[in-house]
Structure 1
Amino acid sequence: MLLLGASLGAAAVVRARRHRPDGNDGNRWLVVTVNREPADVYEGGSPPRPLDRFGDDLEVRVRPAPGDRGTELSARLRRPVPPGATSFPARLAGRDPRQGVRTALREAKALLETDEVMLPDHPPTATGGTPAGKLVGLLSRRSGGEGVL
């Protein structure tokens, strides 16, 4: 019974992705909430270190999070993203140009909150010669661009 409750609790936090009828999924803002004040996030008028590598190709927005819960750090590419680049197969193959922005947002959040970016151990422990180990290895490599399996 405890296992059932745990799985129901995990299912409650999963959010469904809504498809936008205008087809402009590639131009939406990618957002993380950082547990810092807005002045700490956008220090000196420049974006956090991982995001500054994009230069003028990236639009960055910083504003207080709702309920006084830190700062929302938002970013999106200035150039239009091709419609096929946002599809699930393109994301799985690592061809979505927004994957670099997602990675930079996660790294910026980690650096601002803890002063370091935690990375998994390499090589993963489950990449043995078994079919299940190979599958886990493949999924682990693919999750790097999205942050989730």
Structure 2
Amino acid sequence: MNKLWWAVPVVAAGAAAARRSQPSHRTDEQANDRWLTVTINRTPADVGSEGKPPAPLDELAERIDIEIRPAPGDRGTELAARFKEPVPALSTSAPARLAGQDPRQELRRALRDAKALLEAGEVLRPDTPPTTRPTPGGKLIEVFTRRSGGEGVL
């Protein structure tokens, strides 16, 4: 039994590789053409009128489609947006996302800002760091924050 200790990692790696090699149900083109949605705790009438998107989405109005609909279970309003033209796959690659050149990041940021403005009346931004001298932990968090690509997740 002691001679088979290497079999467990090999089997796990093989299972992971097989799972990655299976075709996904969504093509790359469909993934780049999907709706991005936020739920806002306001009525549909408060979120936007016909033909006029909320303030942060105004800048993108010519490039995006917008849908405003009641959220399921009477829990506010869903604000959905997507680009009219499909986003090129090259601009959504990992290097483009890390460099901040993915156009979907701009749309995600605009949706988050619209939600903040409609719910709180302002877009809250973090203050400067509480420490005046750089620390190793602070540098690590700064790297991860920069790498998050403005998407709100690390």
Corresponding residue pairs, total: 130
Distance in 2 of aligned mates of 1:144 and 1:126: 24
Q: In the alignment, what sits opposite 2:20?
A: none
Say which SS state the counterpart of residue 76 (structure 1) adopts. Answer: strand
C-alpha deviations, 1:18-39, integer Å up to 9, x for none?
A: x653212111111000011111
1:31 aligns with 2:31: no
Per-residue Cα deviation, 1:3-23 (whole angstroms, up to 9, x for no partner): xxxxxxxxxxxxxxxx65321
Do structure 1's residue 102 and structure 2's residue 105 form an aligned pair?
Answer: no
TM-score (norm 2): 0.75
Q: Which structure 2 segments of 5+ residues have no match?
A: 1-23
8 A contact 1:31–1:74 mirrored in 2: yes
Distance in 1 between the 2:103 and 2:110 partners?
Answer: 12
Distance 2:133 2:140 in 1: 10
Distance 2:152 2:120 in 1: 18
User: Helix, strand or coil for the counterpart of 1:98?
Assistant: helix
Q: Does 1:121 align with 2:102?
A: no
Structure 1 gaps of 5+ residues are 1-18
Q: Determine whether 1:64 maps to 2:70.
A: yes
Is the Cα–Cα contact under 8 Å of residues 127 and 134 in structure 1 kept in the other structure?
A: no
**Structure number with bigger Rg:** 2
Q: Say whether residues 1:78 and 2:54 are aligned partners.
A: no
Contact 2:48 2:68 in 1 (8 A): yes
Residue 83 of structure 1: CA displacement? 1.0
Root-mean-square deviation (CA, aligned residues, Å) is 2.0
Within the candidate set 48, 56, 79, 2:54 is matched to: 48
How does the TM-score come out when normalised to structure 1?
0.77
Shift of 1:140: 2.1
**1:89 equivalenced with 2:95 (yes/no):** yes
Contact map agreement 1:127 1:136 (CA 8 A) in 2: no
Name the counterpart of 1:16: none
SS in 2 for 1:33: strand
Matched, 1:137 2:142: yes
- Partners of 1:118 and 1:144 in 2: CA distance: 18
**Structure 1 residue 69, shift from structure 2 partner:** 0.7
Whole-angstrom CA distance in 1 between matches of 2:49 and 2:26: 37
